[in-house]
Chain A
Amino acid sequence: MLTPAVSVIAVFIFVPMALTIWLSFHEWSTQTGFGAARYVGLRNYEDLFGPISVGRDFQRAFLNTANYTALSVLIILPLSVLFGLMVHQRRVAGGHVLRAILFSTYMVPMIAVALVWSKLYSPTEGPINQVLSWIGIGPQPWLSSPDTALFSIVILNVWQQIGYFTVLVIAGLTQISPSLYEAARIDGANRIQEFFGVTLPLLRRTLLFSAVIAVINAVQVFEPVALITQGGPANATNVLTFHIRRVGIERAQGGLGSAMAVMLMLSLIVIIALLFATARQKEER
């Protein structure tokens, strides 16, 4: 019963995972067999943290990915709670329509998202700067300036994914017993106290799960960078998934790329462990 699933996962995930770690200690061209790998100890890692251009590019890509991930999570979590409450409320109609519209963007292939937004962002022919000019805001450079390019990609990513996280929050909200709100109201709580005293604490597990998924999704950003910005301008959007593929596949520096992949994986483990630890600490209080 387990054989088909476990053998696929073993051959195409476990084995490559072990190989990634093994290769990170080797110098190896991706164009050759694994047997051609030459052991170099920690040299790949030393290069990544060294002052040479290999190291500088990696460190920049790492920093870009960290910024991108932090921004994504910090925007997605509050927005998903806000939208979740708007869909969940029964005071006015329209919640279900909103949910359908938000979730439909999650079905759109990232490549189409990237293409459409690259046209929306266009400084002269794009509608975003046009709409901004109506309310007195001058033209923004969006993807064409190093200062705004990464954030512009965060926005299009949030647009694509927010529906999924909103649905997660709605699922969390339906689990909260209405009697808790009644009790809060009897104690004289207003809506804001209700939100911080009942809703938010009981959404903690949902938000922990959302945060973990949002982090994992954020480090995978690839299509907008590969297609629209190619990591630029001035390396501002060079993120790890793009950089690792460029080094490890296109430049065939398999050992170096693998060392970068290991660093990414270790960072993810640390971040996810920290998220769980913070959530647990709050729960104990």
Chain B
Amino acid sequence: MIGRSILRGPRPGEAGAFLLVVIIAVAVIAAFPLFWMVLSSLKTPAESMQTPPVWFPSTPNLDAFSEVAEVIDARRSFLNSFIIATTTTAGILITSLMAGYAFAKYRFGGRDWLFALVIATMFLPPIVTLIPLYRLVTSMGFNASLVGVIVPHLANAFGIFLMRQFIAGVPDDLIDAARVDGASELRIVLSVVAPAVAPALAALALFAFVYHWNTYLWPLTVLQGNTDGYPIVLSLGRLLSYNRGAMNTGLVMAGATLAVLPPLVLFVFLQRFFVDSIVGAGVKG
């Protein structure tokens, strides 16, 4: 056996086994933090503080979860997150669909120039405009409210880009036929273009929902400590300062588990859409 390996190199089977071991190792390491998060949320406070750490809770319990609900208004936080993520997503879908249609199918002076300008904002980190944006939204009277969290994000470059890429592939004949039938442009967008790019719209909806469920910097800045408006990710931050140190491990992990669930559940059921849209946007771009 050994002689054979030296003479001919490893047999395909051996290389395959090695590869499989590496794949399993990477998967285990990648999954470990979430696994640890769930385990820790089920431990008693005493177990969380032990050195060296205990891996498996002796009496798994949900006490930490009910404590989370007491410390932060979990129901309210979830509702806020849900309102922010769904309304922002709905806005993005509409504005991206309309603008994507215009950029893909209309001819007008300065079109490519305007498109390039819009796309450039995709590469702009939010912090660059944060200070004046904060002042602007405050002077509009939207500060410390959900409106202020939502309104600035009702359109974005990624959505417009994605929609333009996919709408460009919708046959002009289909659109012209609807025009001949006397349909308004808005009607065409909603009942001809939208169904034709439905998978891309679904993907955009998922991305927008997860992004705005998870986003932290802007809500933190605009809500100015108005905890009634806090989405779950901001309330989680408050959990950490509550009862600092190792004491709060179970509490923090339970809160993190709750916040992770909605985006993760969406992903588990709709994984194909996420992956296909990244691949699709890249290949078409």
Contact = CB atoms under 8 A, between A and B. Distances in A.
Interface of A: 1-2, 4-6, 8-9, 11-17, 19-20, 23, 30, 33-34, 83, 86, 89, 91-95, 97-105, 107-113, 115-120, 122, 124-127, 130, 133, 159, 162-164, 167-168, 170-172, 174-175, 206, 209, 212, 216, 219-220, 222-223, 226-228, 240-241, 244-245, 248-249, 254, 257-258, 261-262, 264-265, 268, 272
- Looking at A5, A30, A113, A206, the one whose CB has the most chain B CB atoms below 10 A away is A5
B183 interface: no
A109 B214 contact: yes
A5 B30 contact: no
Given A8-B154, A254-B131, A127 B53 contact: yes
B118 interface: yes
26 contacts: A2-B103, A5-B96, A6-B155, A9-B157, A12-B136, A17-B129, A20-B128, A34-B132, A94-B20, A97-B27, A98-B27, A102-B27, A104-B267, A105-B33, A107-B267, A108-B260, A109-B216, A109-B263, A110-B216, A159-B30, A167-B279, A174-B279, A220-B217, A226-B220, A261-B131, A264-B127
Interface of B: 12, 15-17, 19-20, 22-24, 26-27, 30-31, 33-34, 36-37, 40, 48-53, 55, 94-96, 98-99, 101-103, 106, 114, 117-118, 121, 123-136, 139, 151-157, 160, 185, 189, 210, 213-214, 216-217, 220-221, 233-234, 236-237, 239-240, 246, 249, 252-253, 255-256, 259-260, 263-264, 266-268, 271, 274-275, 278-279, 282-283
B123 A216 contact: yes
A92 to B, nearest CB: 5
Given A95-B23, A105-B30, A159-B30, A257 B131 contact: yes
Given A30-B131, A97-B27, A9 B118 contact: yes
Given A105-B34, A268-B125, 5 more contacts: A33-B135, A98-B23, A101-B31, A107-B263, A170-B279
B23 A86 contact: yes
A101 B153 CA distance: 29
Given A1-B98, A94-B27, A104 B264 contact: yes
9 shortest A-B CB distances, which residue pairs? A5-B99, A19-B132, A16-B129, A109-B214, A8-B155, A12-B152, A1-B102, A5-B95, A112-B256
Given A120-B36, A248-B130, A115 B266 contact: no
A92 B23 contact: yes
Contact of A13 (B129, B234, B246): B129
A112 B133 contact: no
Contacts of B33: 105, 113, 116-117, 120, 159
A227 B237 contact: yes
A171 B130 contact: no
Nearest to B111: A2
A172 B129 CA distance: 33
